[in-house]
Structure 1
Amino acid sequence: MRNARQHARTRIPAHRATAAEPHTSAGPSLPVLRHLLPLLGVWAVALAAFAGGEPVWLPLLAAGPALAAVTGGRPVVLGTGLLASVLGSAIGVHAGVPGRETAVLLAALTGVTLAGALAAGRRGRAEEVLELEAVRSVAETAQHALLAPPPRTVGPFEVAVQYSAAAAEARIGGDLYALIPTPHGVRFIVGDVRGKGLPAVGTAALVLGVFREAAHDEPDLLAVVDRIERSLARNLRADDFVTAVVAGYPEPGRLEMVNCGHAPPFLVRGSEIVPVEPAQPVPPLGLRALSGQAPHLEVLPFGDGDRLLLYTDGVTEARDAARRFYPLAEGLARHLYDEPDRTVAALHEELLAHVGGRLHDDAALLLLRKPAGRTSPVEGTAAPEPPRHTVAH
């Protein structure tokens, strides 16, 4: 059982805790006063009409729902209009206003209330759109900082990435990927953090930060995995973990891979598509202390024309209306193009069609292709090309 983090707790004396509490006013807050203002206006008009015994004040009741349309939402407008109608009817009866005039007054109040409710609803939707755009802008910036867009070529590989967050408004999720050239060859990772939301994003950031440092520092790929495992053991809760494939290309024709509880990548050689199953399955990152199993290094040949597709379970566990999983291997066979970006774009489009347009889990695809004649990092890196990255929703 891995060690849990201990958090020190300090007792604060009661008198000091009370003194430290922020001062709160006994009066209502400004938003509450803003919503109460139309109601107070209606009551003021009603009191003036009752006190004077004159119905001349009655048309001013329409100012209540009109003002509510500016200061509050649809429920405030409807509530103010209802109050104005009830008080208008009572004043009409009290002042002996003819029924026809009272009916005209109520019709006017109803019209103003409905128009105000419509305007308040549109204003509310406009404010939500503006707020959503602000959230998307911030989240997109965070996404680009967390998942750095890979170049179109990295070392000897042509690269394409497709990432879709389940929370389309946020544009970020718990899936992670990185692909970087290092003194030990190109190294890359694809992983999936347990859970969603901000905690998953924080864990993904932790894994990527450790990977990018260790990938440069450690000559041995297993040592990179050990660094990530130790960091997660110190920082994760007991029920959290990360599935991941960590891989490297240290020399021409040699691909190294460590699979920690993740879905097996697909190796494409010619027209043959083969899942790279680990010879010795090991638990996800963060759970090694519970099992005692050390990760195992897989080595396989990877030559000119070969491709490797890594993905997260948001792809293979996506279901259609009949609850059938998306057949990724079959989709890959249908979309084997020379250009990796064309392949992943076609797979993503087919995936969205399979689920009916909206994913319910984060999904990531990373495709590498080794074209003929491309040099490896240890032999000299090809000229870089402009970054290309797509975030789908």
Structure 2
Amino acid sequence: MVMGLRRPTAARRPQLPGADPGETAAGAARIGNWALALWLLLLTVVVVLLDALTGTDLPLIPLMVVVPALASVFCTVRQTTAVAVWVTLVVVGSRIASTGAFWDVVFLIGFTALASALGVVACAARIRHATEVARLRSAAVALQRQILRPLPIVTRQICAHGLYEPIEEDRFVGGDIYEVVQSPHGTRVIIGDVQGKGLPAIGAGFAALGAFREAAVREPELAAVADAVEDAVVRHNAFSAETGEEERFVTALLLCFDGGDRAQAVNCGHLPPRLLHDGAATAVTLYRTSVPLGMADLGGEARVAEWVGFPPGSALLVFTDGVTEARDAAGDFYPFDDRLGGWAGCEPDQVLDAIQADLQSFSGGVRRDDIAVLVLSRQQDGGNAAAHGRTNQHLHRS
């Protein structure tokens, strides 16, 4: 497989310079001013005509007091205020022109003004709440992006291309993690998924990543690296328990590449990798799968590394369950292995592009979990410097 150019990380949403992302998203109108004015005018004409036809037996104009409440759900504060003023003028004008009792007219005018004011207040409260949520979501996603290095990552043994798409909904922000570290013992790789969602999951993922980055360089044995990450997750859980937060575990797959035709793997309750070789994709069987990180006390057995094939021209594809557990509109799971076989002979970037597009189409754009995929291809002789050069050129261009 030929190594491609640097793959950019997940696209960021454009925003105006100096604009607050939360306010921009939350305060945006869902209906244009002209469209709102047209619908409001048509509604007023219809209600006034019907009110004239029904006469005093069934007055319909007072029912327009519900319009500001409806506008508060879809419109900005300014639009809702305009709707409230218009409705108040229409109701007041129609009642003044009527021959009803004085106190009935006063009561209706007062009720209309109160209902319109409540609609504006409700709209302002909705936008304020949505802005706060958007800010929290933006902060969580930005934190996720900052603790994970941009891809691809080139080492002396491999080139790691990848796809990373965090879910950008406040309560669904997940804890998918990955890292590639060049060490004296070869290239160490981790991909994992923290149990749970939200900022606490990101915190547990950061603890696991920090421990891996240090242990990957320090420890000569891959199993010892896994044990170091285990200890970090346990310490993080102990601290979380003291602060009243939920304890979490991390499913993870650790790999080590030394430039040979095999790679070491320690599987901590994670999905097994897929081997892309000779135009075929096969699931790699791992016989020593252990419990997730943070749960070693429940396992009873020490973690052991095992060898998996990594022949020349092949690539190992590792991923999180955001891929395999994606669902379509009917609730069916994404047929990952069936689809992957059709892309096994493609370049790493092409495989990732195909997975991204196919997942988007399959799920209809509705996701409930992060997506992280790494394609780990063998580094060719002399390819390291060239790859670094292409990557640096791309970085300068972007």
TM-score, structure 1 as length reference: 0.65
Q: Check 1:197–1:141 CA distance in 2 against 1; reply closer, same or farther (3 A cut).
A: closer
Task: Pick the aligned partner of 1:354 from 345, 362, 381.
Answer: 362
Cα offset, 1:317, TM superposition: 2.1
Residue matched to 1:204: 205
For residues 226-270 of structure 1, the C-alpha deviation after alignment (integer angstroms, 9 at most, x for no partner) is 211233344436974221100111224332211111111101102
- Contact map agreement 2:140 2:199 (CA 8 A) in 1: no
Range moving further from structure 2, 103-112 or 256-265 = 103-112
Residue matched to 1:324: 332
Cα offset, 1:363, TM superposition: 3.0
Residue matched to 1:221: 222
Distance in 2, matches of 1:249 and 1:144, equals 25
For residues 5-46 of structure 1, the C-alpha deviation after alignment (integer angstroms, 9 at most, x for no partner) is xxxxxxxxxxxxxxxxxxxxxxxxxxxxxxxxxxxxxxxxxx
Residue matched to 1:6: none
For residues 262-310 of structure 1, the C-alpha deviation after alignment (integer angstroms, 9 at most, x for no partner) is 1111011021211112122322222222222122222234244312111
Q: Determine helix, strand or coil for the equivalent of 1:191.
A: strand
- Contact map agreement 1:149 1:387 (CA 8 A) in 2: no
Cα offset, 1:362, TM superposition: 3.1
Q: Check 1:130–1:286 CA distance in 2 against 1; reply closer, same or farther (3 A cut).
A: closer
Distance in 1, matches of 2:393 and 2:318, equals 20
Q: Determine helix, strand or coil for the equivalent of 2:170.
A: coil
Cα offset, 1:110, TM superposition: 4.1
Range moving further from structure 2, 205-214 or 273-282 = 273-282
Range moving further from structure 2, 311-320 or 347-356 = 347-356
For residues 198-243 of structure 1, the C-alpha deviation after alignment (integer angstroms, 9 at most, x for no partner) is 3322211111010000011112212211211233344436974221
Corresponding position: 1:176 with 2:177: yes
Task: Pick the aligned partner of 1:310 from 318, 321, 329.
Answer: 318
For residues 116-169 of structure 1, the C-alpha deviation after alignment (integer angstroms, 9 at most, x for no partner) is 344334433433443344224322331123222234544443433223344523
User: Any stretches of 5+ residues in structure 2 without a counterpart?
Assistant: 1-67, 82-98, 242-246
User: Any stretches of 5+ residues in structure 1 without a counterpart?
Assistant: 1-64, 78-97
Task: Pick the aligned partner of 2:391 from 376, 385, 388.
Answer: 385
Q: Determine helix, strand or coil for the equivalent of 1:299.
A: strand
User: Aligned runs of 1:113-132 on 2, under 5 Å?
Assistant: 113-132=114-133
Residue matched to 2:17: none
For residues 355-384 of structure 1, the C-alpha deviation after alignment (integer angstroms, 9 at most, x for no partner) is 33222233321222236445469xx98447
Corresponding position: 1:282 with 2:283: no
Task: Pick the aligned partner of 2:302 from 294, 306, 315.
Answer: 294
4+ long deviations beyond 6 Å: none
TM-score, structure 2 as length reference: 0.64
Distance in 1, matches of 2:140 and 2:394, equals 19
Residue matched to 2:9: none
Cα offset, 1:103, TM superposition: 3.5
Distance in 1, matches of 2:200 and 2:291, equals 21
Q: Determine helix, strand or coil for the equivalent of 1:385.
A: helix
Identity %: 34
Q: Check 1:136–1:291 CA distance in 2 against 1; reply closer, same or farther (3 A cut).
A: closer
Residue matched to 1:264: 272
Task: Pick the aligned partner of 2:249 from 241, 244, 253.
Answer: 241
Letter of the 1:216 partner, please give it. V
Letter of the 1:319 partner, please give it. R
Cα offset, 1:328, TM superposition: 1.1
Cα offset, 1:190, TM superposition: 0.6
- Contact map agreement 1:167 1:173 (CA 8 A) in 2: no
Distance in 1, matches of 2:211 and 2:393, equals 23
Q: Check 1:119–1:298 CA distance in 2 against 1; reply closer, same or farther (3 A cut).
A: same
CA RMSD, Structure 1 to Structure 2 (Å): 3.8
User: Aligned runs of 1:42-121 on 2, under 5 Å?
Assistant: 99-121=100-122
Q: How many residues align?
A: 300
Letter of the 1:287 partner, please give it. M
Distance in 2, matches of 1:376 and 1:262, equals 30
Q: Check 1:229–1:355 CA distance in 2 against 1; reply closer, same or farther (3 A cut).
A: same
Q: Check 1:367–1:374 CA distance in 2 against 1; reply closer, same or farther (3 A cut).
A: farther
User: Aligned runs of 1:148-167 on 2, under 5 Å?
Assistant: 148-151=149-152, 153-166=154-167
Q: Determine helix, strand or coil for the equivalent of 1:367.
A: strand
Letter of the 1:127 partner, please give it. R
Q: Check 1:388–1:160 CA distance in 2 against 1; reply closer, same or farther (3 A cut).
A: farther
- Contact map agreement 2:137 2:168 (CA 8 A) in 1: no
Distance in 1, matches of 2:188 and 2:337, equals 24
- Contact map agreement 1:259 1:278 (CA 8 A) in 2: yes
Q: Determine helix, strand or coil for the equivalent of 2:101.
A: helix
Larger of the two Rg values belongs to structure: 1
Letter of the 2:209 partner, please give it. L
- Contact map agreement 1:139 1:171 (CA 8 A) in 2: no
Q: Check 1:309–1:360 CA distance in 2 against 1; reply closer, same or farther (3 A cut).
A: same
